[in-house]
Structure 1
Amino acid sequence: MPQGGVAGVQPGLPPALNIIALSGFAASLSTRALDPVLPRIASEFSVSIATAAGLAAITAFTFAVVQPAIGALADLFGKARLMIVCLALLGFASLLGGMSSSFEVLFLCRILAGIGAGGVFPVALGLTADLVEPERRQVAIGRVLGGAMTGNLLGASASGVIGDVLGWRGVLLVLGLLVIVAALAVAFGFRNKPMRPGAPMDLASLRRGYRTIFSNPNALICFAAVLVEGTCVMGAFPYVAAFLHELGQESLAIAGLVIAGFAVGGLLYTLTVGRLLPRLGVNGMMIGGGALVGLQLAIIAFGPPWQAQALAFIAMGMGFYMLHGCVQVFASELSETARGTAMSLHSFFFFIGQTTGPIAYGFGLAHLGKTPTLLIAGVTMLALGLALAALLRPRPPGDAVGTAERAS
C-alpha cells in the first residue's frame, strides 16, 4: 500500500464521490441515534439498560450477517441500485420503529434497519475503490468517511436534543423521513449513471472470489482487527448515557453531545489524513491510532466530568480512524474482481464486533465493574495497533497475481 503521494490529490477525485458520501451520511444518521435515548426506551418498556442496549447489538448483528450476501449482490447486480433500495428500507424501518407499541416490535424494526444499513456503507466503499486508484484511495475513502462521520455526528447530537423534546419516538420518526429523502436524492443523483447488473449470477465465480480473498495473508489479519475494534470501541457506546447518569447528568442532549465527539474526531481525521499519512507512514498511523484510543478509554474509565469525556471521545474518534482507515485500505486490496465482497466481509466482521461489544461490556460491567472493563478495552486497543504494524504488509491481490502469472 503506498505511503506517500497523497497530499494535494483531493481536487482530482471523481465528483461522484460526493454522491457516495451523501449515501454514507444518510445511512449513518441512525447508527448512533438510539444510544442517547436508551434510558428512556428502557423506562417506557420496563426493561433494563442492558436489555435496551440489545437494540444496538441486534442492529449491528443484522448488519453483519447480511454482508456476505450484500457484497455478492453488489458485485453481481450493481452497487448504486442496491444502495438506493437499502436506504429506502432503512427509512421505512425507522418510521415503523417510531410507531412501535412494544419492545418486541421495536426490536424487529431495528432488525430491518440493520438490513437496510447493511447495504449502504460497504457498497459505498466498494464504489470508491472502483473509482479511485490505490495510491489515492485512502484520501478518497477519507472523504466518504467524512460523510459518514457527519451523519454519526448529527445522528447522535440531534437525537439527544430531539429526545429531550419529542422523546425517543420522535428521534426515529425524524430520522426515518430524512433517510427516505436522502434515498430519493441519491436516486436522482445517479439517474444518468449506469446502474445495470455487473454480471450474471455465477456461484462458481463467487466461490473463486472468496478463495481469492482468503488466499491473501492480510485477510484474516484485517478481519480479526475490525472485530476487535468493534468490540472494544463501539461496544461501549450504548452505555455512555448510563455512565453519565451515574455522574448525575441525565440530559439526553448532553449524552448525545458526548457520543457525537467520536464523529468530530472522525471528521478531524478526514481533514488531516492527507498530511498525517506522509509524515507518520502507515505503521505510525496504526500505532498512534491504537495508542490514542487506548488512552481515551482509560480516561473515561475513571468517570471524569462530561466535558472531559466529550474531549476524550473526540480524541478517540481521531485515533480510531487513524487505525481503522489503514485497515480499510488493506482490505480494499485483498481482491480486484471481488472487491465488493471483500469490503462486505470487512463490514461483516466489524459489525459482529459491534454485536459482541455491548454483550461483552454488559458482562464486564456486571462482574468486574466499569473501571476494569474499560481499562481492559484500552490495553487491547493499544496492543492491536502494535500488532497490526508488525503483521500487515503490502501484498498484491490474489487475482492480480494470477492474471500476471497467466500473462507471463
Structure 2
Amino acid sequence: MTSVPPAAAEKHRLPPLLNIIALATFAASLSTRAMDPVLPHVADDLSVTVATAAGLSAVTAFSFAVVQPLIGAAADIFGKGRLMLMCLVLLGISNVVGALCSSYSALFATRVFAGIASGGVFPVALGMASDLVPVPQRQVAIGRTIAGTMGGNLLGASFSGVIGDLVGWRGVLVVLGALVFAASIAVGFGFHRGDAIATSRRMKFADLRQGYRQIFSNSNAKVCYSAVFIEGCCVLGLFPYVAAFLFELGETRLSIAGIVIAGFAVGGLFYTMTISQFLSLLGVRGLMISGAMMVAVQLVAVAFGPDWHIQMLSFILMGWGFYMLHGCLQVFASELSEQARATALSLHSFFFYMGQTAGPIVYGVSLSWAGKFPTLAANAVVIAILGLACAGLLTGRAASRAR
C-alpha cells in the first residue's frame, strides 16, 4: 500500500482556522432569514401591511449592501479578525434592542444596524478563507465557509417560526441576540488561539485606489457583480412572500413557513457536502448551468402553489442549485484582485444584497400587477439565461477547470 507523502497531505489539508471562520458566518447568518417567517405577526402587532413588514427584510439587505465598500476597505487596511468580532457584538445588540421596539420605525432602525453588522462578517470571512488557501482548494474552502452560513440560515429560519408560534416575534429576536453573543465569545477565543487577528493580511491605505482600479479593470468584474445582483433579486426577493403564499393556501402556522424557507439552507448544505464531487464531474461551467436550471425549474414549481411539503422540497433543490451557481461566482470574485481581495468580495456582497433589496420591491409590484405564476415564471427564465451567460462570459483560472 502506498502512503501519501506528508508534504502532499499537508498541501491538501484545509487550515483548522476555517472552522472558526465558519462559526463566525454561522452566528452572523442566524438573523438573515429569521424575520421572514414571522412577518405576518409583525404586521399585525405593529399595525402595518405584510408588504410594509417585508421592508424589514429589504432594509437589512440594503444596509448590508451599502456598507460593503467601506467594510472591505476597512478589513484590508485594519485587519479582518478584529472587524468581524466588533460586528458580531453589534449584531447581538441590534437583535436584543429590536425585541424592545414598540413601533415599526424603531424596529426598522434596528434592522438597519443588524444589516450593517452582518455586512462586516460574511464577505470578510470569505476574504480570510481565500487568503488561507490557494486557488485549487478555494472553492472547497469557500464551501466550508458557506456551510456555516447555511447552518445559520437553516436554524434562523426554522427555529424562528417555532419560537414565533410559542412566544411571538419579540422572543425570536431575544433568542437570536443571545446566540450571537455566545458565538462571538467562542469566535474571539478561536481567533486569539489561531492568531487570526495578527496574521490577517493588510493593505496600506495608499494602495486602496489601486485596488479598486485593479478590480474593475478585470473583465470578470462586470459579469460577477451583475450576476449576483440578478440572483439576489430573482431568488432571495421571493422569501418575504413565502409566508403570505402559504397563508393563501390555508397554512397559517409560522413554523411551517420557517421550515419551507429553511429548505433553501438545507440545499446549501447539500452543496457544501457535494461540491468536490460535482466540481470534478461537471467543471465550473457545468456547475453554473446546472445550478441555474435547477433554480429555474423550482421557481416554476413553487408558482403552482403546491402543498407545503412539496414547496419545502422545491426550496431544498432551489438552494442546492443556487449555490452551485453562486459558489462559482464567489470564486471568480476572489480572483479579481489578490491585493484587495476583501474589497473585491465585499463589492460582490454589495451587489448581491442590493439585489435582495430590490427583489422584495420588484416582487411586490409584479405580484400586484401580474399575479403569482407569471411573476415566478418570469424570474425562472431570467435565472436560466443568467446561468448560460455566466458560463459563456467568465474566464480565468477558475474557468480553466471547466470540462
* Contact 2:72 2:343 survives alignment (8 Å): yes
- Separation in 1 of the partners of 2:383 and 2:309? 23
Deviation at 1:190, TM superposition (A): 1.3
Q: Evaluate the alpha carbon distance shift between residue 10 and residue 94 of structure 1 in structure 2; reply closer, same or farther with a 3 A threshold.
A: farther
Q: Tell me if structure 1 keeps the 8 A contact 2:246–2:308.
A: yes
Which runs of structure 2 are paired with 1:99-248 in the superposition (5 Å)?
A: 99-192=100-193, 193-196=195-198, 198-199=201-202, 202=205, 204-248=206-250
Per the TM alignment, residue 9 of structure 1 is displaced from its structure 2 partner at its CA by 9.4
**Residues of 2 paired with 1:207 and 1:350: CA distance?**
22
Aligned to 1:353: 355
Structure 1 residue 195: Cα displacement: 1.8
Letter in 1 for 2:215: I
| Deviation for aligned residue 1:127 | 0.2
2:19 is matched with which residue?
18
Q: Kindly indicate whether the alpha-carbon contact (under 8 Å) linking 1:10 and 1:139 is maintained by their aligned counterparts in 2.
A: no
Measure the CA separation in 2 of the matches of 1:174 and 1:11. Answer: 38
1:261 touches 1:317 (CA, 8 Å); kept in 2? yes
Q: Is the 1:93–1:109 contact (alpha carbons within 8 Å) kept by the matching residues of 2?
A: yes
Residue aligning to 1:258: 260
Deviations 1:27-75 (A, max 9, x none): 0111000000000001111111110000000000000000000000000
Instruction: Provide the C-alpha distance between the structure 1 equivalents of 2:330 and 2:49, rounded to a whole number of angstroms.
Output: 35
Note if contact 1:9-1:136 (Cα within 8 Å) is conserved in structure 2.
no
CA distance in 2 between partners of 1:221 and 1:180 (Å): 37
What is the one-letter code of the residue matched to 1:388?
C
Counterpart CA distance in 1 for 2:395 and 2:10 is 24
Question: What is the number of residues matched between the two proteins?
Answer: 388
4+ residue runs of structure 1 moved beyond 4 angstroms? 8-11, 196-201
- Give me the whole-angstrom Cα distance separating, in 2, the residues matched to 1:229 and 1:116: 22
C-alpha offsets along residues 244-289 of structure 1, whole Å, 9 cap, x if unaligned?
0000000000000000000000000000001000100111100000
d(CA) in 2 for partners of 1:387 and 1:116?
33
> What secondary structure, in the 3-state scheme, does the structure 1 residue paired with 2:23 have?
helix
Q: 1:194 to 1:290 in 2, by over 3 A?
A: closer
Does residue 388 of the first structure (1) align with residue 390 of the second (2)?
Answer: yes
Partner Cα distance (1:185, 1:279) in 2 = 37
Q: Counterparts of 2:148 and 2:209 in 1: how far apart (Å)?
A: 33
Fraction of identical pairs, as percent: 62
Show structure 1 runs of 5+ residues with no match: 1-7, 397-408
| Long gaps (5+) in structure 2 | 1-8, 399-403
How far did residue 393 of structure 1 move?
A: 1.0
Partner amino acid for 1:170?
G
In 2, the alpha carbon distance for the partners of 1:9 and 1:333 equals 23
Which whole-Å CA distance do the structure 1 matches of 2:173 and 2:383 have between them? 32
Q: What is the letter of the counterpart of residue 373 of structure 2?
A: T
Aligned letter for 1:83? Answer: M
Deviation at 1:377, TM superposition (A): 0.6
1:70 maps to what in 2?
A: 71
Contact kept, 8 Å, 1:27 with 1:179, in 2: the verdict is: yes
SS at match of 1:191: helix
CA–CA separation in structure 2 for the residues paired with 1:329 and 1:241? 33
Residue in 2 aligned with 1:54?
55
**1:125 CA displacement:** 0.1
Q: CA deviation at 1:376?
A: 0.6
Counterpart position of 1:336: 338
Mean Cα deviation higher: 267-276 or 187-196: 187-196
Does the CA-based 8 Å contact 2:40-2:50 persist in structure 1? yes
| Residues in 1 aligned to 2:270 and 2:196: alpha-carbon distance in whole angstroms | 34
CA contact (8 A) 1:77 1:198 kept: no
Contact 1:36 1:156 in 2 (8 A): yes
Question: 1:11 offset after TM fit, Å?
Answer: 6.6
Looking at structure 1, the residues matched to 144 and 397 of structure 2 have their Cα atoms a distance apart, in angstroms, of: 24
- SS of aligned partner of 2:281: helix
**Counterpart position of 2:271:** 269
Partners of 2:390 and 2:347 lie apart in 1 by 18
2:69/2:347 contact within 8 Å kept: yes
Residue deviations 1:187-213, cap 9 Å, x none? 1111231524855752x4111100000
Residue from 313, 316, 319 that aligns with 1:314: 316
| Residue deviations 1:342-398 (CA, integer Å, cap 9, x gap) | 0000000000000000000001011111111111111111110011111111169xx
In 1, Cα distance between the equivalents of 2:397 and 2:131?
A: 18
Q: Equivalents in 1 of 2:188, 2:299: separation in Å?
A: 40
Q: Which amino acid aligns with 1:249?
A: E
Question: Does the CA contact (< 8 Å) of 2:46 and 2:102 recur in 1?
Answer: no
Quote the RMSD (CA, aligned, Å). Answer: 1.4
